[in-house]
Amino acid sequence: MTFMDTVKKSLGFEIDEQASRQQPRSTAQRPRSPKTVSPRQNPSYGAKPRPRPDFDDIETIIPETPFYEIVLIRPKTIDDVNYVVDQVIEERNPVILDLSFLESESPANFKLAGEKIKQMRARYGAQALLLSRTSEKNLIIIAPKKVKLIKKG
């Protein structure tokens, strides 16, 4: 009985078993012999099967240092500058500052922001690096002591 005869029988069609046995198989239904594959054609030929790992054997990898969030902020008030100080000192996240707004709109707040950056460097070992200074942008990156900033070139 062929596969199609079995399907028809399971669906409730009546099938003459002698007719299905006498019908010659088509070439598509004939079993094919597997092709021999040489080692050059199949790289896994003759390779030993690798054992599957048990879940007990798998070790979890925990990084030594946590991942950092790098905050990009353009402070417009002293409260924004205080937020930057909290991010660097308490959260230990690097911050990229664009001080161009404070520089052009409020020189007193710009000077106060500079003093706070100097205090972070002196008291907490924070690092500050000027990234870009143009007429439109004044970018500084400030990082906590754990994050190393390296200036090359």
Asked if pLDDT for residue 116 goes beyond 90, the answer is: yes
Q: What is the pLDDT of residues 120-136, one digit of tens each?
A: 999 999 999 999 999 89
Domain count, the chain: 2
Domain identity same for 79 and 133: yes
Domain identity same for 19 and 82: no
Residue 55 within any structural domain of the chain: no
Q: Are 95 and 70 in contact (CB under 8 A)?
A: yes
Alpha helices per DSSP H over the chain: 3-10, 17-22, 78-89, 100-105, 107-124
Residue 126 within any structural domain of the chain: yes
Q: Is the pTM of this model over 0.85?
A: no
Domain span holding position 131: 71-143
Place of tokens 């950056």: 117
Q: What is the pLDDT of residue 6?
A: 76
Place of tokens 């946590």: 66
Domain of residue 86, CATH code: 3.30.110.150
Q: Are 147 and 99 in contact (CB under 8 A)?
A: no
